[in-house]
Amino acid sequence: MKKIIYFLAISFASLLFYACQKNFLEIPNTTGVVDINKVFSSRLNAQAELFGAYKQALGYANNGENNFTYSSVASIAGERAKGNSWHPTYNIAAGGITANQTIFNYSLIYTTVRSLWIVNENIDKVPDMDATLKDQVKGETKGLLAYMYMYGLKAYGGIPLVKKSYSPSEDLTVPRATVEETVNYIVKLCDEAATTLPSTWPADQKGRLTKAAVLSIKAQTLMFAARPLFNSATPYLSLGGTNDKLISYGSFSGQRWKDAINASLAALTEAGNAGNSLINTTGTANVPNTSALADYGIATSTPGNKEVILASQDESNEAARYRNLSGYWTDTKFNNQRNGLLGNFLPNYRKADGTDQDWPKVGDAAPRAASDYITRFGQMEPRFRADFAGPGLQAANNPNDAKWGFNSWGVHIANYSGTNNFPATNDYGQGVAWPTKFYYGAGGRLWYEFPIFRVAELYLNLAEAYNEDGQTALALVNLNIIRNRGGLASSTETDKVKLKALIQREWAVEFYDENHRFFDVRHWRLPDIGNGIVGGKILEFQWQIGSASNKSLPSNLINYYMSVVYTAYWNDKMHLEPFPQSEVNKGAVIQNPGY
């Protein structure tokens, strides 16, 4: 009997011992993901979070990290056609932006902001990083924060300014700041970042924010602050009372243009110090550049070229999907098919001699022979030929590469029909020409680096701001620097209003499909924005093409003409973006007017 009791005692004791192993419920080894302590316990991981934020911030509104998923912003900015019926840009062209169909991903701004603040607040914990680099990283986070808020400002007006990483238990109410507060905060972030960021990074670190980059962010921010949408006594639509300050300054001030001039000059000077400059191989003032096609092509396409102050160095093919239309692109080509250059935008381009081209117009008596297209295409200014190809044409930016030639476009590049349907519309989307921008000399490289700041922008900033400030001569100097580099003769226009139009045309041509136009035309408050610029009748060429299977062979093209392919929606409320309806329903923000 005793033995039994001993035995029971031992078995229960061992059972309890087994049961009470302290670590029994500890978290087991699970997966390869790391926790926050590991992130900031090594330089490698901390930088990985930083680079994750870089990818998100600089890819914002560009690489599909947004609500439009397909195509690019250009498809609702009057530059490129609206895309296929399943593309959100198609719906927006048809029915406008609504609070339930926005184009910019509002939440993603703040996801990125949060990631940046986490790095900013925790970087001091990293043991194997020196103090200088830590300061630089803090500068980078502030610079990228400024970049995100600049996007928010351009798109929404005054937005909530999150100035740290919140924990969910805190009061999370962050109301919209006014336009003025938003601008000031961005400027403050840029100034702070500029004090710690280097002018250049070592060669193997190139691509990270430099001093010139944050000064460029500041310059662009102040340009938008000075442009008429915000810099005005009356907003584009009223929100009522003090809420108008969320979408405008509420007063005009000429000083804002002076601030923009100073900021652009400072950025230009710093860019020069850092070795960034406009690529103009002939390089003489007031002389058209004879190698403009190559220079402009390199400036917009070659990774790491000296004109680029900051680029989104996301070299994934995914990011390039809607801009590489060559025969090299093999995956889901049909998705790229309907994003051609619009006839509405075409008149912005000149002939190489500086005069306007006589393209077919709606209402012409008869279609023109296809050879007319090829002839006129060849007469166009270098930037046009660098940025586009068309039916029957070899892309000038990759002249000897068959995959960039009419034999092997990934998709059909014309709105065609086998019969002569003049003046009726055959199809839409293929436009008047086919974008080849960002791929000068790229050959088989599918990816590209999207340029975020090129030195050219700073010159056009100065041209626009000097002109608004009444310093027409200085405006002309800066404008002509860009014209000359583009292979055009200098302008001698001195009338402020006419010069303004010329400068705006230069912005359009120089920065086609670089995500400028969408914001520029809104912030300039162009009167015709709903009548052929963004909204209104959309024009594209229509082609009669022979029966050969390759629809781009020159010998197969018969004739072409311009037609109205669809009507795009515009409403003045679209000067600024709507906040997502769910945010408004939560009571988090005051909605912009009209939505």
Site for other proteins contains 36 (CB under 8 A): yes
Site for other proteins contains 334 (CB under 8 A): no
Identified binder of other proteins from the candidate list 238, 316, 407, 567, rule CB under 8 A:
316
Site for other proteins contains 106 (CB under 8 A): yes
Shortest distance, CB of residue 59 to other proteins, whole angstroms? 9
Site for other proteins contains 158 (CB under 8 A): no
Of the chain, the end-to-end C-alpha distance in Å amounts to 87
Cα–Cα distance list, 387 to 81, 282, 377, 428, 487 (Å): 15, 21, 12, 20, 14
Shortest distance, CB of residue 96 to other proteins, whole angstroms? 10
Site for other proteins contains 115 (CB under 8 A): yes
Site for other proteins contains 553 (CB under 8 A): no
Site for other proteins contains 27 (CB under 8 A): yes
Distance, in Å, from the CA atom of 454 to the CA atom of 431, rounded to the nearest integer, reads: 27
Identified binder of other proteins from the candidate list 9, 13, 15, 402, rule CB under 8 A:
15
Shortest distance, CB of residue 95 to other proteins, whole angstroms? 6
Site for other proteins contains 203 (CB under 8 A): yes
Near other proteins in 60-89, by CB under 8 A: 85-86
User: DSSP string spanning 47-107?
Assistant: HHHHHHHHHHHHTTTTSS-SS--SS-GGGGTTSB----TTSHHHHHHHH--BTTB-SS-HH
Distance, in Å, from the CA atom of 452 to the CA atom of 58, rounded to the nearest integer, reads: 8
Near other proteins in 388-407, by CB under 8 A: none
The count of residues interacting with other proteins (CB under 8 A) is: 82
Half-sphere exposure of residue 184: CA atoms within 13 angstroms, side-chain side: 6
Query: Segment contacting other proteins (CB under 8 A): 122-130, 413-421, 550-558, 586-594?
Result: 586-594
Site for other proteins contains 118 (CB under 8 A): yes
DSSP code at position 529:
I
Q: Are 209 and 143 in contact (CB under 8 A)?
A: yes
Site for other proteins contains 13 (CB under 8 A): no
Identified binder of other proteins from the candidate list 75, 141, 210, 313, rule CB under 8 A:
313
Q: 137 or 432: whose CB is closer to other proteins?
A: 137
User: If you count them, how many residues does the chain have?
Assistant: 595
Q: Are 277 and 306 in contact (CB under 8 A)?
A: yes
Q: 76 or 499: whose CB is closer to other proteins?
A: 76
Q: Are 247 and 241 in contact (CB under 8 A)?
A: no
Site for other proteins contains 564 (CB under 8 A): no
Shortest distance, CB of residue 340 to other proteins, whole angstroms? 21
DSSP code at position 357:
P
Query: Segment contacting other proteins (CB under 8 A): 17-25, 237-245, 455-463, 475-483?
Result: 17-25
Cα–Cα distance list, 440 to 207, 300, 545 (Å): 20, 8, 28
Site for other proteins contains 131 (CB under 8 A): no
Handedness of CA 481, 483, 488, 492 (dihedral sign): negative
Query: Segment contacting other proteins (CB under 8 A): 38-46, 75-83, 274-282, 290-298?
Result: 38-46
Site for other proteins contains 424 (CB under 8 A): no
Site for other proteins contains 18 (CB under 8 A): yes
Handedness of CA 98, 92, 384, 326 (dihedral sign): positive
Near other proteins in 207-226, by CB under 8 A: 207-208
Cα–Cα distance list, 159 to 24, 45, 66, 85 (Å): 48, 31, 18, 32
Site for other proteins contains 531 (CB under 8 A): no
Q: Which residue has the tokens 């995959």?
A: 403
Near other proteins in 451-470, by CB under 8 A: none
Shortest distance, CB of residue 569 to other proteins, whole angstroms? 11
Identified binder of other proteins from the candidate list 124, 130, 195, 206, rule CB under 8 A:
206
Residue 191 neighbours by CB distance under 10 Å: 14
